[in-house]
Amino acid sequence: MWCSRVALRQLQRATAKTVCKAPAEGLVHREMSNLSRVYVTRQIPPDGLRILRESGQVEFDLWDSDDVPVPRKELLQKVKGVDALLCVLTEKIDAELLDAAGPNLKVLSTMSVGFDHLTLDQLKKRGVRVGYTPDVLTDAVAELTVALLLATSRRLIEATHEAKTGGWGTWRTLWLCGHELAGSTVGILGLGRIGVAIAERLAPFKVEKFLYSDVAPRPDLAAGIAAEHVSFDELARRSDFLLVCCALTPETQMICNKELFSKMKSTSIFINTSRGGVVNQDHLYEALSTHQIAGAGLDVTVPEPLPTDHPLFTLKNCVILPHIASASYTTRNAMSSLAANNLLLGLRGEPMIKELKL
C-alpha cells in the first residue's frame, strides 16, 4: 500500500525522468506562440507552480487567490483557447465551460482525488484527457479521519466548550462520557487505500473487528487488516463506528440516509471524510437530534461551506470540519506537483502519472 511519503518519493523519481528541464539559454527567447497555453484556476501550492514555470513547455495564467474561487464569469473568459486547464474541486467542469474553452483544450488536470466536479461524458466526447491526484493524500486523510473519530466519540469539542465557558464544575461520574475504540467493531463503507490506511491506524487502539462493505469483495486489500466483507445492512447493524470512504457516484448519492441510520446502534458513531453528497443531511440531523445514533463527524458537507445557520451546527453530538482531510503541507504540495506533471505529460502526448480513464 502506498503512503503519502512513499508516493511522494515515487512522484519525485517520476518527475526527474519525465518533466521537461528548464530550457537551454538559446531557447529562452523562442516565440511564446510555441508554448502551450494553460489556465490555473487557483493559487496552488508552490511546488506545482514551480514545475510549470520551469518546464519550458507552457505559459500559464492563474487566478491568484487561495481564499476565493475564480468567479464563473471570469473563468469562462480565461479558458478561451487554452490548451490545458489545471483546476481544483471548486470548479464545475461542464459542457458550458468546455464550449467556452473551445477545441484547443486537450488536457484537464484536477488537483483532487475526487472527480464529481467533472462532467466526464462531456470530457470524453471532446477527447480531453484527465489527470487527477489519488494516493498521495492517503496518509493525510487517514490521520484526519482518526482525529475526527476521536474528537466525535470522546466529545472533545463539547469538553473544550465547557472548559472555556464555565461548565467545568466538580468531577462527575457520567459527565461528558463517550465511546471508546477498545473492543469495538469498526465498519468501512468503500474499502480502498484510504480505508485500509485508517484501519491500520485504528488497530493499535485494540479494535476487535473490522468490517467493510463494497460493490464487491476486495480480498487483497482486506487481508492486510483482517477485514470481513459484509452486506450494507449488516455493516449498519454491527458497526460501533461507521466510516464512509466511498467515492461519490450516482449509486452512492445519499446512500447514507434514514434507512441506514435506523439500522445503526444507538451508541454508534458515524464519520464521513469522503464526499458530502453520499449523506442525506436532513436524515442525519433527525438521527442525531433524536439520539437514534450517538454522534457524527463530518469533514465534507453539501453545500461547502455549510451555512452557519444549518441545523447540524446546533447539535452538540455533531462535529463539522471545513473539508481539511488532505490539508497538510506535505500532501498539498505533493498534490500540486502531481497535477502539474499530469498536465505536462498530457500535453506531450505521454502517459500521465495518474490518468482517469474515460
DSSP class of residue 24 equals P
The reply to whether 323 belongs to the active site is yes
Residues 344, 51: Cα–Cα separation, whole Å? 9
Residue 164: phi, psi to the nearest 5? -80, -30
Number of neighbouring beta carbons within 10 Å of residue 258: 14
Give the closest residue to 117 by CA, choosing from 63, 75, 149: 75
Cα angle 48-298-355, degrees, rounded to a multiple of 5: 35
- Beta strand 355-356 with 129-131: parallel, antiparallel or unpaired? antiparallel
Give the closest residue to 135 by CA, choosing from 162, 155, 109, 112: 112
DSSP class of residue 21 equals P
Q: Are 256 and 278 in contact (CB under 8 A)?
A: yes
Give the closest residue to 109 by CA, choosing from 136, 95, 91: 91
Catalytic residue among 29, 161, 291, 323: 323
Q: Is the peptide bond before 217 cis (omega within 30 degrees of 0)?
A: no
Q: Is the peptide bond before 103 cis (omega within 30 degrees of 0)?
A: no
Give the closest residue to 152 by CA, choosing from 269, 314, 263: 269
Residue 159: phi, psi to the nearest 5? -65, -40
Q: Looking at the annotation, which residues are catalytic?
A: 323
